[in-house]
């Protein structure tokens, strides 16, 4: 089966359409300030989306990312409220994320349990444990914490560029480094990968740990954006990042898709709701439109592969 | 590892039933009090009925998703279907002025249509069920929000309708009878008909089922449509229990339902599982979470224990299977074909 068109083509066309329409009808959409704050808000999501894409490429799934995100954020917030510095908080969030990722990875790779059920269980366990300890209480951050104590504008700029840099690094890693190619190899055929000397279990484990760590980093970034840490943050994050990956052309059966596709997918999904407002469609249609985009993306994908 | 072999020693459902009994008696003896001859707490009849009322909607969704998981599929959209149907029912009755029976009937049709959308995409276009139902999970919830503009709720239902969710018939909560009826129908369908056996065959190997002459696509389509209809029924019961139709009805229920099904011993890869396992799974979760509330424990502990129980159940069934698998069939099934030397 030869395919000549890139798998992200329908997505690029949709993005061109949406942005073109916005430029014509509502040029104020491209105003600097609201656009910046919108992108800064999505910067942590982008990081999680990259990790989720890698886990999907290795032919697993993780629906516990929202809970990992919330727990890591609270860990960072608690450290900050005890007077720890920014670096310690970042390390704490990262460590918490890595640990939770390792637990998922152990269950899936070592004990060979199905990832959807394992992460369903850990999602519930982390979320409820957080509710038990926090009882819905927000954690107030010290005053110098928000945006590293910088102005809003430069803080947003730093976050957006940091997220883009990390994302580019991961995308480069996945497509150019041999360890990144292992992920594709295991995702497309674990047995063939094993026979060619790639350890499928370690690769799968590493993908989950990486995702956990990325959740930690994202949660830390998210905590910097507000004066308080919300224990309910990250609710529904798993659906959002899986949707971004799928819209971005990452095959749910593993082994295929590019990280930049997930970037474009997230861009489309997050542009849709402000776009609806600017185009004078009621905002209540947001979820319905997002759902339709997911369905259209998978339909477009099958049409593309079956046509050739 | 996909295998149709049953663990030899004890069936999963028997262990689960034992866990359920232990839970029930533990809470009966620790969380029940008596004052002047009246029982309070977990052991009181009212508490038991309350427990039943709260588990019926999730139980119905779990019953609906069991045949789907048996075929190797999954449905994340059932909670959203429940919400959409709740809104459609309220809107038909209050805004369109339809009589209750007609509103109910049309709501069931809407649920069937929602299931048909899933069925068409999954069975006709052969798209992965996880992604399709993730899409319709957003789509159906989004439609419910759009229909109500995010805020409107429908209340003021007549008391004859509220009887369904709050009243009793012959001593039992009304929806308990419906739950029993649906359970019996689905149990017979899965365990006593050819239709049910074909679902397992599809879950075990859809290609093999196709070669055996089973209309795989039609069967798969049927289970998703059926699930939509049951979710609509659950939506009507939800509306009646709360006396209110709202767009966020049933949020997260799909995950509880799937948890109950897996806890009940149905393999997430399809092929093996049982309806009575699902019922036991629903009951085990409901008794645990409600019992802890009566035992004055924080509500969250119930959630944590449910998650832990799910992991344990999964581990137990995997180990039971892999031990059996290794001793009996390892050589014949896992040895790679040796290349013949010329």
Q: What is the pLDDT of residues A3-39, one digit of tens each?
A: 567 788 889 999 999 999 888 988 888 888 888 998 9
Q: Give the per-residue pLDDT at B168.
A: 87
Chain A / chain B CB contacts < 8 angstroms: 133
For tokens 């129980």, the residue is B309
Residue A79: which domain range?
Answer: 9-307
What secondary structure does DSSP assign to A149-161, as a single string? GS-HHHHHHHHHH
Crossing angle (nearest 10°) for helices B45-70 and B78-94: 120
Q: Give the per-residue pLDDT at A9.
A: 84
Q: Is A110 inside any structural domain?
A: yes
Q: Give the per-residue pLDDT at B336.
A: 44
pLDDT at residue B52 above 50?
A: yes
Q: What residue of B is the nearest CA neighbor of A191?
A: B336
pLDDT at residue B89 above 90?
A: yes
pLDDT at residue B64 above 90?
A: yes
Q: Give the per-residue pLDDT at B329.
A: 40
CA distance B13 to B24: 16
Q: Give the per-residue pLDDT at B320.
A: 67
Interface confidence (ipTM) of the complex: 0.86
- pLDDT-derived band at B333 (thresholds 50, 70, 90) equals very low
Whether residues A288 and B138 touch (CB distance < 8 A) is answered with yes
What secondary structure does DSSP assign to A70-136, as a single string? HHHHHHHHHHHHTT--HHHHHHHHHHHHHHHHHHHHIIIIIS---HHHHHHHHHHHHHHHHHHHHTT
CATH number of the domain bearing residue A80: 1.10.3470
CA distance B286 to B111: 25
- pLDDT-derived band at A307 (thresholds 50, 70, 90) equals low
For the stretch A64-82, pLDDT in tens is 999 999 999 999 999 998 8
Q: Give the per-residue pLDDT at A10.
A: 84
Q: Give the per-residue pLDDT at A129.
A: 93
Q: What residue of B is the nearest CA neighbor of A239?
A: B134
Q: Is A2 inside any structural domain?
A: no
Candidates 3.30.160, 1.10.1660, 1.20.58, 1.10.3470; CATH matching B12-27+39-317: 1.10.3470
Q: What residue of B is the nearest CA neighbor of A111?
A: B315
pLDDT at residue B342 above 50?
A: no
Tokens for A296, please give them: 């259209």
CA distance A114 to A120: 10
Tell me the H-state helices in chain B: 12-30, 45-70, 78-94, 100-119, 129-148, 159-166, 174-191, 194-204, 206-211, 216-242, 253-263, 275-294, 299-334
Average pLDDT over residues A113-135: 92
Q: Is A1 inside any structural domain?
A: no
For the stretch A150-170, pLDDT in tens is 788 888 999 999 999 999 999
- pLDDT-derived band at B327 (thresholds 50, 70, 90) equals very low
Q: Give the per-residue pLDDT at B326.
A: 46
pLDDT at residue B328 above 50?
A: no
The DSSP letter of residue A253 is T
A109 touches chain B (CB under 8 A): no
Of B142, B269, B303, the CB nearest to A291: B142
Tell me if B136 sits within 8 A of A295, measured CB to CB. Answer: yes
Q: Please state, rounded to an integer, the average pLDDT across all residues of chain A.
A: 90
**Which uninterrupted H or E stretch holds B72?**
none
Domain spans of chain B? 12-27+39-317
Q: From chain B, pick out residues whose CB is under 8 angstroms from the CB of A253.
A: 128
CA distance B219 to B251: 28
Tell me which of B133, B146, B323, B334 to substitute to probe the interface with A (most A C-beta atoms closer than 10 Å): B146
Q: Is A266 inside any structural domain?
A: yes
Pairing of strands B172-173, B168-169: antiparallel
- pLDDT-derived band at B10 (thresholds 50, 70, 90) equals low
Q: Is A277 inside any structural domain?
A: yes
A232 touches chain B (CB under 8 A): no
pLDDT at residue A207 above 80?
A: yes
Share of chain A above pLDDT 90, in %: 60
- pLDDT-derived band at B266 (thresholds 50, 70, 90) equals very high
- pLDDT-derived band at B337 (thresholds 50, 70, 90) equals very low
Q: Is A212 inside any structural domain?
A: yes
Whether residues B135 and A298 touch (CB distance < 8 A) is answered with yes
B293 touches chain A (CB under 8 A): no
CA-based torsion, B285, B287, B288, B291: positive or negative: positive
pLDDT at residue B157 above 60?
A: yes
A298 touches chain B (CB under 8 A): yes
Q: Please state, rounded to an integer, the average pLDDT across all residues of chain B.
A: 88
Q: Which of A135-149, A224-238, B128-142, B241-255 has the lowest mean pLDDT?
A: A135-149
For the stretch B175-203, pLDDT in tens is 999 999 999 999 999 999 999 999 999 99
Average pLDDT over residues A101-121: 93
**Which uninterrupted H or E stretch holds B31?**
none
Whether residues A121 and B137 touch (CB distance < 8 A) is answered with no
CA distance B322 to A209: 26
């Amino acid at each position: 089966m030869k395919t000549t068109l890139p798998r992200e083509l329908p997505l690029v066309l949709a993005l061109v359409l949406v942005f073109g329409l916005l430029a014509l009808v509502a040029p104020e959409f491209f105003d600097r300030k609201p656009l910046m704050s919108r992108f800064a808000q999505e910067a942590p999501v982008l990081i999680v989306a990259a990790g989720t894409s890698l886990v999907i490429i290795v032919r697993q799934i993780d629906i516990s990312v929202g809970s990992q995100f919330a727990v890591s954020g609270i860990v960072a917030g608690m450290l900050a409220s005890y007077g720890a510095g920014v670096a310690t908080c970042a390390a704490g969030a990262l460590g918490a994320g890595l640990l939770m990722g390792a637990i998922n990875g152990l269950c899936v790779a070592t004990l060979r349990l199905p990832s959807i059920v394992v992460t369903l269980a850990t999602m519930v366990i982390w979320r409820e444990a957080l509710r038990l300890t926090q009882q819905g209480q927000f954690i107030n951050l010290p005053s110098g914490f928000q945006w590293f104590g910088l102005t809003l504008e430069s803080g947003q700029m730093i976050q957006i560029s940091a997220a883009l840099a990390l994302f580019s690094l991961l995308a480069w890693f996945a497509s150019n480094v041999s360890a990144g190619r292992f992920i594709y190899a295991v995702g497309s055929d674990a047995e063939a990968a094993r026979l060619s000397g790639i350890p499928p279990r370690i690769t799968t484990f590493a993908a989950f740990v990486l995702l956990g760590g990325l959740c930690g980093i994202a949660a830390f970034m998210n905590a910097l954006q507000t004066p308080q840490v919300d224990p309910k943050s990250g609710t529904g994050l798993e659906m959002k990042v899986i949707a971004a990956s799928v819209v971005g052309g990452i095959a749910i059966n593993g082994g295929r898709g590019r990280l930049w596709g997930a970037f474009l997918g997230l861009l489309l999904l997050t542009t849709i709701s402000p776009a609806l407002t600017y185009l004078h469609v009621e905002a209540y249609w947001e979820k319905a439109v997002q759902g339709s985009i997911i369905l259209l993306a998978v339909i477009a994908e099958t049409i593309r592969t079956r046509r050739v | 590892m996909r295998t149709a072999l049953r663990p030899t020693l004890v069936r999963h459902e028997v262990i689960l039933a034992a866990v359920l009994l232990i839970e029930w008696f533990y809470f009966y003896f620790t969380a029940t009090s008596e004052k002047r001859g009246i029982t309070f707490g977990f052991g009181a009849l009212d508490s038991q009925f309350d427990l039943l009322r709260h588990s019926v909607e999730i139980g119905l969704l779990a019953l609906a998703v069991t045949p789907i998981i048996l075929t190797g599929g999954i449905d994340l959209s059932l909670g959203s279907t429940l919400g959409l149907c709740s809104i459609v029912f309220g809107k038909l009755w209050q805004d369109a002025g339809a009589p209750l029976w007609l509103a109910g009937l049309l709501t069931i049709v809407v649920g069937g249509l929602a299931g048909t959308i899933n069925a068409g995409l999954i069975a006709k276009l052969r798209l992965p069920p996880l992604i399709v139902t993730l899409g319709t999970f957003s789509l159906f919830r989004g439609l419910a929000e759009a229909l109500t503009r995010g805020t409107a709720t429908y209340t003021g239902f007549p008391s004859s309708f509220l009887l369904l969710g709050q009243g009793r018939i012959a001593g039992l909560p009304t929806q308990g009878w419906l739950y029993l009826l649906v359970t019996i129908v689905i149990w017979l369908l899965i365990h006593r008909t050819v239709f049910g056996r074909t679902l397992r065959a599809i879950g075990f190997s859809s290609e093999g089922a196709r070669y055996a002459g089973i209309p795989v696509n039609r069967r798969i389509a049927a289970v998703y449509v059926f699930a939509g209809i049951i979710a609509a029924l659950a939506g009507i019961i939800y509306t009646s229990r709360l006396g209110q139709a709202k767009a966020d009805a049933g949020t997260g229920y799909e995950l509880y339902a799937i948890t109950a099904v897996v806890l009940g011993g149905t393999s997430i890869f399809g092929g093996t599982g049982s309806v009575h396992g699902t019922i036991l799974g629903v009951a085990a979760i409901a008794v645990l979470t409600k019992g802890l509330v009566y035992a004055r424990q924080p509500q969250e502990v119930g959630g944590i224990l449910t998650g832990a129980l799910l992991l344990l159940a999964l581990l137990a069934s995997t180990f039971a299977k892999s031990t059996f698998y290794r001793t009996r069939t390892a050589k014949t099934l896992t040895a790679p074909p040796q290349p013949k030397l010329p």
